Amino acid sequence: MATQERGLATRRMILEAAGAVFSERGYSAATVSDVLKRLGLTRGAVYFHFASKEELARTVLASQADIPTVVRDIKLQELIDLGLVFACQLTRDPVLQGSVRLSLELDSVGLDRKLPFRSWVDRNQEILEQARAQGELRPHVDLTETAELLCSCFTGVQLFSQVMTGWADLESRIRALLRHVLPNIAEPSVLVQLDLSADRGLKVGAELSALAEAQEAQEPQENDF
């Protein structure tokens, strides 16, 4: 078990270094050697986990699909929390930062840049479908249109925030976006229950950490032979 954990930790270190390199230099200019310099690992150690720069980039690009969420009784609150957690993590996580640059960079040749956008649209639509089933949405709401609109607006907001403040104000800008969108899609009785407070992203992040720690504590421990 300890060997497996070390392998996962090394893989995560490689992804964080690669994310930072891709975020700073872009796909075309980045090299595996750049990643190695940050890690102090041998080339063989990196290639044990990732066969090429392209595989590293694909894994970094796909990381946006791994953003966790907390199941809520009110599904529109779940949608809010998902966006705010992503905004909060983006300011701290080099893998996500690399993923964002790769998804927006036109010269990421050979990479499926649509992957994270499809992932976000699918997740948005799934939550919106659940919200509709619970009577949270106004009758006119088109689920696919709304899911795609949220994804495209979020992309524009995070890009604007990155240029203007290096993502320092991203959460507040996402809350502003949601304050404009939600009244047009949510039933009034649901709208008044939604929490868009300034510290919501941090609170949900702490909740997710506590849930992860509790789950880890419940997992059976294996002897290290």
pLDDT bin (cut points 50, 70, 90) of residue 225 is very low
pLDDT (tens digit per residue) in 24-65 = 999 989 999 999 888 887 788 888 888 888 999 999 998 888
How far is the C-alpha of 41 from the C-alpha of 54, rounded, in Å? 19
Q: How confident is the model at residue 224 (pLDDT cuts 50, 70, 90)?
A: very low
What pLDDT sits at residue 221? 54
Q: What does the H/E/C string look like for 143-202?
A: HHHHHHHHHHHHHHHHHHHHHHHCCCCHHHHHHHHHHHHHHHHECHHHHCCCCCCCCHHH
Rounded to whole angstroms, the Cα distance separating 26 from 41 reads 21
Average confidence (pLDDT) over 95-100? 94
The reported pTM is 0.86
Q: 90-117: buried (b, 16+ CB within 10 Å) or exposed (e) per residue?
A: bbebbbbbbbbbbbeeeebeebeeebbb
Which residues share a beta bridge with 137? 186
- Amino acid type, 148: E
Q: What is the pLDDT of residues 104-127, one digit of tens each?
A: 887 776 788 898 999 999 999 999
Give me the chain's average pLDDT, please: 90
Q: How far is CA 26 from the centre of its chain?
A: 19
pLDDT tens digits, one per residue of 123-175: 999 999 999 999 999 999 999 999 999 999 999 999 999 999 999 999 999 99
What the block records as the tokens of 3 is 């060997």
Nearest Cα to Cα of residue 37 among 20, 61, 23, 58? 20
Burial (CB count <10 Å: 0-12, 13-18, 19+), residue 45: middle
